Chains A and B, each alone.
Chain A
Amino acid sequence: MAKMIHSLFLINCSGDIFLEKHWKSVVSQSVCDYFFEAQEKAADVENVPPVISTPHHYLISIYRDKLFFVSVIQTEVPPLFVIEFLHRVADTFQDYFGECSEAAIKDNVVIVYELLEEMLDNGFPLATESNILKELIKPPTILRSVVNSITGSSNVGDTLPTGQLSNIPWRRAGVKYTNNEAYFDVVEEIDAIIDKSGSTVFAEIQGVIDACIKLSGMPDLSLSFMNPRLLDDVSFHPCIRFKRWESERVLSFIPPDGNFRLISYRVSSQNLVAIPVYVKHSISFKENSSCGRFDITIGPKQNMGKTIEGITVTVHMPKVVLNMNLTPTQGSYTFDPVTKVLMWDVGKITPQKLPSLKGLVNLQSGAPKPEENPSLNIQFKIQQLAISGKKCLAWV
């Protein structure tokens, strides 16, 4: 993994290289031409292949928040290593500047440079934990820049971060709060593919437990579940003691300070996932006519008395669709005639009156009846419900 990342280029959507950082010798920007070539070939920005080989280098890139992070490497390296690292860089920018955008990065270019230098040394990642980075380089705040300009002090810490070398590198020492609090968010996403007739082709639950911990000192926490056997496929934050989980199925850990993701887990379709909504749909195109009918209705299935909210429906219509003339019973819809994407922002479902969207579809005249079936993508939220049935038990 020699010299893992040689150089890093940040490129915006219009193809401007707006930041470059070299960890070894300077690599000419022209190396990015290979990337632009691949970008041109890919119809969509999202389709640019993440690993591109050039005569002398490899380019490994990620696409985040409308920015490309393109890294240049020269020798055999684990690409996942690089990709993970690039995502960590983007996460850090997000964490420091509130957003990971070209404007934010340009506004804080010196901090960005300091951060990149602190995160990687000769291809070896140094400090990637936000807790440690923040001790080394203070995030920008309006207050601090005012204070700094008055006192002349800097935003670079001059003592060694305490967590850097302890066995708990993720936590800084000497944390003090007057109000000690800890919050946990359990977020579960169902990812399901349902066929025309309504039967589930594939469903799984992706869950995460995000925590916000504001506790003084070195708190040692444990968290146990009512039905831990659901959690077979889990990825843990390094702070969790794996031995204890293996033997007792208890999450025991000294948490980092602040926000972090404690665990993420997957519950696969074998444990039958009940999808809380259903869609009735009828989309038809008449033979030899330039219009078709479109009619979808959404309704709740068993939802344990919770309301389903924040529903949006996205439909990718066939290419020959010119325009759509629809009436929603609630919410609003838009149709983008260029990308052929129909978006319907539904809002909440009230069981008394099920939301529906009906109307006419205009096709290109003379075009044959579309073969493909439009796919519907539905997103919704339910507060205070864990689909997997996971329950959290106690705090020690």
Chain B
Amino acid sequence: MEANVTKPFVKKKQNMKRYFMEGDGKELSTNKASKDMKKHSPEKKGSKPIGEKRFKKPIKMRTYSDKDGQQKTQQVFKIDISKTERHRKWQMKKQRQAQGEQRKLQHRKHMREQQDPFPGDAPIPKERIQKYERGEHIKDTGTRTGQGSRKLAEQEKKLQFAARQAARTEILLHEEAGFLEADEGEDTTSITQHDLAGVVDITSAQKFFELKLPDFGPYSVNYTRNGRFLLMGGVKGHVAAIDWMTKKLLCEVNVMETVNDVKWLHQETMFAVAQRQWTYMYDNQGIELHCLKKLDCVLRMEFLPFHFLLASANSKGYLSYIDVSIGEKVAGYSTQMGRLDVMCQNPSNAIVTLGHSGGTVTMWCPKLKEPVVKMLCHQSGVRSVAIEQAGQYMATSGIDRTLKIWDLRTYKMLHSYKVPMGAGQMAFSQQGLLATGMGNIVQVYKDSCRQEVKAPYLTHNLTSSVRSLQFCPYEDVLGVGHSTGFSSLIIPGAGEANFDALESNPYQTKQQRKEAEVKMLLEK
């Protein structure tokens, strides 16, 4: 009996056909197919009973005797494996896999054959390239020798490539400078610093702060070229250097002498302080490094970073240049124009500009004994001078309560404004905003050079009169030194939004600083 059941199974399995016994319910035959059947037993899943659809015809009827000796018949169905649910599923799976494979292959082939829809480099607008081109191209590259011609042509190609590449790198300047814009009927002038600080994000709001230093003021201030560090010098001798973003104090000393001006040198490791008699240099720990006896009674100083020159103007009308890299006086000229307490530098060409009591402004370079340019700007004494970042515009203000904007390319006056009182201090931001300090008011004018402005962009009232002003580079911040301390004001749109880390990096590490110093010296 056992043999009867098992034998055909073994045999038929080889032919890939399976037979099994479908009993009348209770007793199931013990072939392996029954297991399969169980697995898909429709009773459990509540679907159609087995044999209803799939097994249409019984191949044969088999009779066998029960344990009780009763004769029973069993239908034997032939089941085609290809028609089972499981096989179907398996087939589907295979098909899917094959399809996937095919798709993958097709995709690969497609990728191989695919043509770049945008072949070559991305096009650059002509105007943008033109911005970076330096003069016209060489049209005739024919020189006296073939080799020379070839070289010239090659060089020309390189220069054009340089312009294109420079234009292409503009894509990296993704930051944009923003400005305040007033609604209709409103005025940006009426927006206070507190309003601004309330609206901007936390980090920006922290940039509006005030240092109350009523004892040693008024303060002159200076930021480093990367805008990270702040130097303050109170007239009564208090000199402090801080990392103003983190408010970390680098050093704080009292020089016990009148401080006329303070200036960072090429990096945040050194600064110069113009004191009552001589000028001193300190390091960032506040330790005195040098006493420059050649610079006496200095009132104003300017540091020319690319030349490593410290230009200073003193109360006796003497202008001197000291090379801080070699520690030698490079040039010194007597201007014959009295006390020199108005000074600024042209950031684009390092020309030092002085303002004089006769209403004139003179421009100096260390190689010439006489001023390069002498301009009559005001009817009476000049109170302050400032030159824009690109060196195209100059702002002067005089005792005659006028503020004038000059075009330095033509030396012509562009605008003249009447102000309530002469601006004692002025400063241009990197984006061309002009800040003026008049008494205890700081006013900032937007785009005052290219067009006539009717009203200030922002104003801020301080508790005491302004002593010095400087916009912080790469930040929308204006630093104001006054009699009772220092105020840092938020001026939206003041700073350059994109910084070149190779040029001046606000996030400079110590190592980078060292490297930059060497590079600066080499380039000098």
A and B, one complex? no
A interface residues with partner B (beta carbon < 8 Å)? none
B interface residues with partner A (beta carbon < 8 Å)? none
